[in-house]
Structure 1
Amino acid sequence: MDRIKELISKMTLEEKASLCSGADNWHTKEIKRLNIPSVMMVDGPHGLRKQEGETDHLGLNESVKAVCFPAACATASSFDVDLMERMGETLGAECQAANVSMLLGPAVNIKRSPLCGRNFEYLSEDPYLAGRMASAYIRGVQSQGVGTSIKHFALNNQETLRMTISSEVSERALREIYLPAFEEAVKESAPRTVMCSYNKINGEYASENRYLLTDILRKEWGYKGCVVSDWGAVSDRVKGLKAGLDLEMPYSGGYNDRQIVTAVQEGRIDEAVLDEAVERVLNVVFAGEEQHRPEVISDKETDHKKAADIETECAVLLENNGILPLNTDRKVAYIGEFAEKPRYQGGGSSHINPFRVVSALDAAGEKGRSVTYAKGFSMENDAMTEQELEKALRTAAEADVAVIFAGLPEIFESEGYDRTSMKLPQCQDRLIEEVLKVQPNVVVVLHNGSPVELPWADRVSAILEMYLGGQGVGEACDQLLFGEANPSGRLAETFPYRLEDNPSYLHFPGNGKRVLYGEDIFVGYRYYDTKKVPVRYAFGHGLSYTEFAYGDLTLSSAQMTDEDILTVSLKVKNTGQTEGKEVVQLYVADLCGTPERPVKELKGFAKVHLLPGEEKTVSMEISARDLSYYEERLGDWYAPSGTYRILIGHASDDIRLHADIVFKTKKKLPLRVDFTTTFGELLDHTKTAPVITELLAPLAAAAASAEGMSDEYKKLGEQVIREMPLKSLMGQMPGEQVEQLIGQLNCLLAQ
């Protein structure tokens, strides 16, 4: 008997139940008589929100001083898994130094709508990118002996009524869009815990959803860790325990512990189920105790520099007519209070108390830049006085270049509520329009956690998206504006022209009881590219101060089967005069004519550093899963035999190279024949096609010999016949004979 099982055998029923809920907001319970310690967990994901005084889980009370790294909206835009892992390592070391056992992150919910108030904390609209980046973060943190908690499992894609709303989603969309990031992280990086979400999924709370927490997470994906509730997400504790929810957070006053005890005593739940949950909780507790390294010391100044360096890799250059990088000889005006007081993080449970924040104005002053400043508008709300506007216009007119620091005030986007529009504050749009009248050289720097409408984008000289870049955002911004660093970020989400273009627009945020995921799998660029909806900035978009050329695309094979791994290689060359980094993106397109598939999907990416004139070979691999969609009839992933196109691009709307492969699968779609089965379905199946072809031969011969019938009309007739069900034969033959035919066809399928 191992140590943990032996401890469980010595526990009373009440002690077992007690370990299945927290001691307070941030600690697990201890059992002193058995030497079971308590361990601490804290909010992340982009820093430590450790509270030592009055505690809460909403970011209301102050936490200890820490380093605030760029939020996920920024780090995902780096498209750099190595950077993400390094950031995780630093955060893990900070946790060790603070005696924290577990960091609550990463957050990988898909950015279904740009209005979600918590989008700044989430990674992407694309599940492949989100999964790769989350896996790297988890590896980094846990390499330091500190656990992670990937969240929020699953379908927590809005803040509106998040604790009661039911996310109504198809099985296919669940599998293709909303689960893959979790699946990738669980299988590749084994997070110590998985945090279930508040919401219902198709009518059942995530905290009570056995299909989600046990059937998929444990049985399908092989997860061995602990499932913890989001803070206050438990509704029916006993039902949750049966479903696979191990640890309730935070402490519920002992009420739910007593519910568990009573349920065991009354035989409503097997004590063995409780024992399993306790074992998983204790694995977390003892891992935290055994892997704690008290000798670790965290240097905040060193980590501050890391935070600033990371942000330089995350910022996205959206527009540039050549004005950037700025010449240090030019007189530059900084306008907008964000230049002096940057917005560098989101509101809510992830809110860090930084020991230091450097603004772009601070950084310019430290480097002796020729920069003047006017507040213009407030960074706290939609407010600007006429005097402030007039001063801003004078300052802009007197400079060679005006850099306007715009973005969303914290009150506009936060955990707990959703945005109501994609617009910037009116005062900011007004100021930008007015400055354009007096200054032809206008650069806009954005501080926001999710896409915004940019009605003036075509008329400004450059736009630099900093997102919420952490406490070193000002230093990173200074380096990028003046060319000490070359922008290399790429958008991890689409910027539509307007909110109404977003595929979730008609359904988000629901009717108060449920929210229909009516766009199904067509989320983000999957929708915009397939429907050919023009967007302001496409997924994957991002400019550089240099240029890159692509060439020599090669595939390891022109054919592929279910078991094969295909290697895709190409050459990328820096054809400019500045060193830089390119993000090579690999998309897959189904050319088989499969209904309801996006025109392309991201299945690989690589960030490559190149000196001027340097050329490198980039290689990526894809498997049959990368070609597949989730086929509900199979309950599995399926790629039909046929042709697929490998697309290599700079962005989802900027494809540079492509090559085709022929795929052959052994998988067969299930077919059970009945009166509603169509002739088309039977003609498409190799086993039934000969019988149906013979049956329809007289009709086909008659159509072929018909005089005066155009080829187009014949094709339409063939389509009509393909769509007819077998029951339509009953006008031509007895029903009993149709029944015999159905039996014959099902026998053929069973062979």
Structure 2
Amino acid sequence: MALASAWGSWVLLGAISPAASLADTPRAATLPWMSPDIIARQDGASEADQREAVARQRAQLLLKAMSLPQKMQQLTGSAPEILPELPQCFGGRHISGIAALGIPTFRVTNGPVGLGQNDCVDAQLVAKAGSAAKAAGLAYTHPSSAKATALPSAMGIAASFDPDVASAYGEIIANEMHSLGLHVFEAPGVNLARLPILGRNFEYFGEDPYLSGVMAVAETKAVQSKGLIAMLKHFVANEQETNRMSIQETVDQQTLREIYLLPFEMGVKDGGAAAVMCAYNYVNGKSSCENEDILTGVLRREWGFTGYVQSDFFAMKSTAATLKAGLDNEMPTPLFWSVDKLGSALSKGEITAADINTALERRYTQMFKAGIFERPLVQTPMAVEENGRKARDIGTRAAVLLQNGGALPFRRDVQSVMVIGKGSQVYAQQAVAGGSLPGEPMGSGGGSSDVVPHYTVTPVEGLRNVLKSLGNSGAAVKLALVDDANMSATIDGARVSFADVTAQAGAADAVIIMAGTISEEGADRATFAGASGRQLAGSAAAGDNLDWYAPRSNVIALTNGRNAARNSQTVAMIKALLAAPSRTGVSMNRKTVLVLKDNAGVAMDPHLVGPRGPAILESWFPGQEDGNIVAELLFGIKNPSGKLPVTFPYVGKGFLDNVSAEQFPGLYDEATKKQTVRYAERLNIGYRWYDANVSGNCKLVKGRNPCVAFPFGHGLSYTSFAMSNMTVAYDPTAKLYRAKAVVANTGKMAGAEVVQAYLALPRSADAAGAPQPPKRLVGFERVELQPGERKEVEIIIDPAASNHPLSVWRETEQKWVVPEGQFALWLGKSSSPIDLMLAGRFSYRK
């Protein structure tokens, strides 16, 4: 969020103070919306829509008792203040309550990877600053924020390919929200990894809309089952941080429907999301927060959404147009919905009192439905240790074993372990989350996902913890940090040469190299020619590798200056270590693992992939339990089972190596002063782009794509699996298709495999508009197996499901249609053709 300038504007405009302007309201003698009878009627309703109907009645009763000034105050967030109910909290993410009407202070926390910026920084900041006004900017980003569990990244949750993991994730979040007295979780985020260098990819679920939707549904249900509100964001086509406040996104309707709206549709229809957040960007010429076609036409009329829409912080760009379009709540403070601007719009007839009532009714309905009016606003002790254990378990289920030439799992009786990373990077030194900075505590980056944890576990601490638990307390674990030039280093703090590092690595029993791609809200991983972000300094793929970094990941990187992009020479370091002579009788690549901690997918140097390369474990951003998560996986206490939710291309052969300036960062028009991005690739996002061979360089060779190092859906295990008996059949009673496969664990260790279902549409589908990619993910099922165990797995493909598995959006008719002809269903363990088997072909039956 752009706080500094927006906060200054708010101060100039002035604010309405609930204490000052609402004090003359007579306290209601009775509050019919809080009567025991109506609460009992709501609680006794057996169906969600029945509970919502009663909640709406309560909202209408409340609105009848409110004055216009009260309604105006309730439309927006409040100025940063010490919360009356929680005097230890100085907060800037809430709507102040009205005690006389029984309206509680309504508190919002950011997300999606834990409770970051949770409306509670140290109240002593006000005393130190001299006033709340002077301390105001600190309310949003100060690291004294109430502590919470720093969870693994949302990208990692998607990598589990397991809705149960997303549910467990949501349950931790919900429990901690109750501990901190919070009501709204600004998540899940379901924007897609269109750009591998998107700064907020780690907050999202990857490149596939169906996978994203499944995870969002599970997380939303888990949060809301606890009497809280989940908020799908950022609605919609918000796939770029560069110039996000003003960028004009142009997306054709078919692409918008089949790709970018799809996870939101699933979250609304299947997850029952109570709230949606409109975004900063413009979509097809209209600001997201005043886009009536999307907020009212699609969201409410087509999908039946009955919740409320909140603005992203400072995302609004108008007063009347936003309210008329379907926005319900301005955050964080009254800028465009200040009393004077609303009053002016009312007097001019641009808005009506009914518009204000509608916006409030939508939000109050969800608050009543969730039981927020009945709950006292208190804070209670948090289950710190328990939630830490759960975060660790989630992290181990999220990690993906990309390749393994035999190095993993490490022997548990190792005597010497060498951890190696860059001194300028966090990966080998600290627990990693989005925006992590070397030498600074977690939560100090400045982005929406900056969670301030109760504790963190570094890589070396985690390795020592796990080795001790295995009865191997005598193993020596050393940390080597190498400079960017690969000339000098430190080993456990002592200055040495890089040659000393390679020599000691050659003598070690196990070598663990840590690298990755840190990113955060506010910037994409690319180098720009100027601070305007209008022109790249070089290739758009500049940040799509293990060498690129900038000192601060939430600020645009330039060719020079304080935040100049730099080259860590990480890949050269890895190659040098692999080339070093081993003195343990085991070749370097068979005792070395490269642990990646990534924002999303990353382009791989071909020398690191294949039998000459090290074992590679992708752990994403593990959060506070980083060290324990990675160590448990490396030593086989946990068996990796994750699958890639994004494609890993080879360096120079990826999507970003082939995009035009129009696709990223956009073309700037001097006449209109607008920068426009066009999603010219249309339906070809992620694995679909590689499958479709858009570049002309990705033609299959013996079933493998030469542009892809590790395909979407890929992930290995310490055991082995075999799939057989693939079939698909139509169930005329249920009017759906049942795909089946038998999975066997053919190895010696318990583990889990994910059966993935991909559908190839008939050629007639292309007549709808954009050519269809070769296949789309339509289902998956994770199965756990003991050694020698076999299970039949069934995947349901319902033509009427919210993800429209068989359908395409026909723009000429403005509707979903099922194309005529034969569909082909493929089952297997990744999106790569070599990993898939044809389960069957069928024609659609109505």
TM-score calculated relative to the size of structure 1:
0.84
Matched, 1:168 2:250: yes
Counterpart in the other structure of 2:386 = 302
Contact kept, 8 Å, 2:430 with 2:458, in 1: the verdict is yes
> Which is further off, 638-647 or 294-303?
294-303
Kindly report which structure 2 residues correspond to 1:670-689, keeping only aligned pairs within 5 A, or say none.
none
Displacement of 1:342: 3.0
| Cα pair 1:317 1:489 within 8 Å, conserved | yes
Question: Which one of the candidate residues 302, 318, 323 is aligned to 2:402?
Answer: 318
Q: Report the equivalent of 2:477.
A: 372
In structure 2, relative to structure 1, the CA distance for the partners of 1:123 and 1:415 (3 Å cut) is same
In the alignment, which residue of structure 2 is the partner of 1:261? 343
The corresponding residue for 2:689 is: 527
Query: Residue 500 and residue 56 in structure 1: after superposition, are their counterparts in 2 closer, same or farther (change >3 A)?
Result: farther
Matches within 5 A, 1:617-696: 617-624=792-799, 625-653=804-832, 654-664=834-844
Preserved contact between residue 487 and residue 545 of structure 1 (Cα < 8 Å) = yes
- Structure 1 unaligned segments of length 5 or more: list them: 667-751
Which segment drifts farther, 196-205 or 364-373? 364-373
- Which of residues 64, 75, 90 in structure 2 aligns to 1:9? 64
> Residue 184 of structure 1 corresponds to which residue in structure 2?
266
Which residue does 1:553 correspond to in 2?
A: 726
Cα distance in 2 for partners of 1:130, 1:473 equals 24
Q: In the alignment, which of 594, 613, 623 is matched to residue 444 of structure 1? A: 594
Specify the SS of the correspondent of 2:743. Answer: strand
Tell me the residue number matched to 1:334.
Answer: 419
Residue matched to 2:86: none
Tell me the CA shift for residue 232 of structure 1.
0.4
- Cα deviations across residues 711-740 of structure 1 (Å, max 9, x unaligned)? xxxxxxxxxxxxxxxxxxxxxxxxxxxxxx
CA contact (8 A) 1:119 1:449 kept: yes
8 Å CA contact retained: 2:258, 2:808: yes
Larger Cα-atom Rg: 1
Residue pairs, 1:227-626, within 5 angstroms: 227-252=309-334, 256-286=338-368, 287=370, 288-290=372-374, 297-330=381-414, 331-336=416-421, 338-346=427-435, 347=445, 348-366=447-465, 367-368=467-468, 369=472, 370-377=475-482, 385=488, 387=496, 389-408=498-517, 410=518, 413-420=519-526, 421=542, 422-425=544-547, 426-438=568-580, 439=582, 440-441=588-589, 442-455=592-605, 456-458=607-609, 459-498=612-651, 501-502=654-655, 505-506=659-660, 507-512=663-668, 513-531=675-693, 532=699, 534-557=707-730, 564-595=735-766, 596-624=771-799, 625-626=804-805
**1:317, 1:465 within 8 Å by CA — same for their partners in 2?**
yes
Q: Which amino acid aligns with 2:666?
A: G
| Corresponding position of 1:21 | 76
CA distance in 2, matches of 1:389, 1:7: 70
The change in CA–CA distance for 1:642 and 1:580 in structure 2 (over 3 A counts) is same
- Report the Cα offset of residue 86 of structure 1: 1.3
1:61–1:401 Cα change, 3 Å:
closer
How far off is 1:215 after superposition? 0.6
| Corresponding position of 1:674 | none
Structure 2: distance between partners of 1:371 and 1:107: 42
Alpha-carbon distance in structure 1 between the residues aligned to 2:339 and 2:159: 43
Is the contact between residue 340 and residue 362 of structure 1 (CA under 8 Å) also seen in structure 2? no
CA contact (8 A) 1:377 1:427 kept: no
Contact 1:560 1:662 in 2 (8 A): no
**Post-superposition CA distance 1:436-464 (Å, at most 9, x none):** 12142321001121222331322322000
Q: Which amino acid aligns with 1:107?
A: G
Verify the 8 A CA contact 1:20 1:257 in the aligned structure 2: no
Find the counterpart in structure 1 of residue 109 from structure 2: 42
- TM-score (normalised: structure 2): 0.75
More displaced stretch, 480-489 vs 297-306: 297-306
Matched residue of 1:460: which SS? coil
Q: SS of 1:21's equivalent?
A: coil
User: 1:494 and 1:9, CA in 2 relative to 1: closer, same or farther beyond 3 A?
Assistant: same
* Partner-residue secondary structure (3-state), 1:128: helix
Match of 1:710 in 2: none
Partner of residue 224, structure 1: 306
Deviates more, 1:657-666 or 1:146-155: 657-666
8 Å CA contact retained: 1:444, 1:460: no
Give the structure 2 partner of residue 731 of structure 1. Answer: none
CA–CA distance in structure 1, aligned partners of residues 101 and 485 of structure 2: 57
Moved more, 13-22 or 479-488: 13-22
Alpha carbons of structure 1 residues 9 and 265: separation in structure 2 relative to 1, 3 Å: farther
Q: What are the residue-to-residue correspondences of 1:60-79 with 2, within 5 Å?
A: 61-79=143-161
Instruction: Give 5+ residue unaligned stretches, structure 2.
Output: 1-32, 34-56, 80-91, 123-134, 436-444, 490-495, 527-541, 548-567, 583-587, 669-674, 694-698, 700-704
Partner of 1:143: 225
Give the distance between the partners of 2:334 and 2:487, measured in 1 at CA: 46
- Shift of the 320–138 alpha-carbon distance from structure 1 to 2, 3 Å rule, reads same
| Gap change, CA 1:236 and 1:244, over 3 Å in 2 | same
Residue equivalent to 1:687: none
The number of equivalent residue pairs is 659
The structural deviation recorded for 1:614 is 0.6
Q: Per the alignment, do residues 66 and 384 of structure 1 end up closer, same or farther by CA in structure 2, a change over 3 Å counting?
A: farther
Q: Deviations over 1:104-153 (max 9, x none)?
A: 11111011011111111111100000000011011111111121111100
Distance 2:576 2:840 in 1: 51
Cα distance in 1, alignment partners of residues 385 and 406 from structure 2: 35
- How far 1:15 moved relative to its partner? 2.1
Amino acid corresponding to residue 796 of structure 2 in structure 1:
E
CA contact (8 A) 2:765 2:820 kept: no
CA contact (8 A) 2:432 2:624 kept: no
Q: Provide closer, same or farther for how the CA distance between residues 382 and 471 of structure 1 changes in structure 2, counting only shifts above 3 A.
A: farther
Deviation at 1:384, TM superposition (A): 6.9
CA distance in 1, matches of 2:184, 2:486: 41
Task: Give 1:298 shift.
Answer: 2.5
Identity of aligned residues (%): 36
- Give the aligned partner of residue 47 of structure 2: none
In 2, Cα distance between the equivalents of 1:20 and 1:606? 43
SS at match of 2:572: helix
Structure 1 segments of 4+ aligned residues over 4 angstroms from their partners: 54-58, 291-297, 381-384
C-alpha distance in 1, partners of 2:417/2:204? 34
Q: Which moved more, 1:564-573 or 1:519-528?
A: 564-573
Q: Which moved more, 1:89-98 or 1:258-267?
A: 258-267
For 2:317, give the aligned amino acid: S
Query: AA paired with 1:525?
Result: Y
Cα distance in 2 for partners of 1:218, 1:34 equals 29
Whether contact under 8 Å (1:96, 1:293) holds in the other structure is no
Amino acid in the other structure paired with 2:816: W
Q: Distance in 2 between matches of 1:244 and 1:275?
A: 12
Query: Does structure 1 retain, via aligned residues, the 8 Å contact 2:93–2:140?
Result: no
